[in-house]
Amino acid sequence: MTLQNTQTPRTALVTGASTGIGEATARRLSAEGWKVFAVARRADRLEALAQETGVVPLAADISEDADVARLVTTVTEAGGIDTLINIAGGARGVDPIATANDADWEWMFRVNVLGTLKLTRGFLPMLRAHGEGTVLNLTSTAALSSYEGGGGYNAAKFAERAMTQALRLEEAEHNVRVVEVLPGMVKTEEFSLNRLGDASKAENVYRGVEKPLTAADVADVVAYAVNAPHHVNLDEIVIRPVAQAANHKVIRRD
């Protein structure tokens, strides 16, 4: 354990903090004594989270330039951050490419790729100036192998993964470490529901899987990565439930 971890307050901005893995991560880091700026579009959920945990709620759409500029200004005035955790993202639809929905693809690229790009670009000067900055991007095992009906999400997460790898190469000289966490099957409140638009279909995704990952499981891994001494870079961490040996192989015990 370094002096940085024991004596210097750590400060992070966490996106996607209104639900799922983002919310769990904000809760986890706040409980560990971090100052957390919690970012999401839904102000009511952020305010409730702030009341429970003490995080700083900042309602914003990270795909909008004006919102990103406002976030950078607000965080700068509040003392800045040393860690940026890009969790906001998601999937829409399971159409094959032959019948792909343009709006679904555009949404996935805007949220997963452009949102991550804009926020990272906005905060990089601050992270460089800190001297020991960290960027952690949450991608997905969908960025490792494609599957039928996943073309749009695969493409978006492959792109986000490529951006993360390039960022690591570009920022090493500035002592900014870049971490990628790639979860597999995680059962959260909204991911599959938002993707499929039907509660019964969403529940069927996890049918017979005894122990899919939870948001808290992934938050544990994120917290471990950003709490490690700064010279330790966990380049990429793949996390799946034991029941999911690969994207295409899931053990279901009906």
| Count of Cβ atoms closer than 10 Å to residue 69 Cβ | 13
Distance (Å, rounded) from C-alpha 221 to C-alpha 219? Answer: 5
Using only the alpha carbons of the chain, give its radius of gyration. Answer: 18
Catalytic residue among 147, 153, 206, 224: 153
Q: Within 13 Å, how many C-alpha atoms sit on residue 109's CB side?
A: 10
Cα 253 versus chain centre, distance: 30
Taking a C-beta distance cutoff of 8 angstroms, is the pair 80, 126 a contact?
Answer: yes
239: left (phi over 0), alpha (psi -120 to 50) or beta: beta
153 catalytic residue (yes or no): yes
90, 120 contact by CB (below 8 A): no
Q: CA–CA separation, 230 vs 19, rounded Å? A: 28
Active site residues: 153
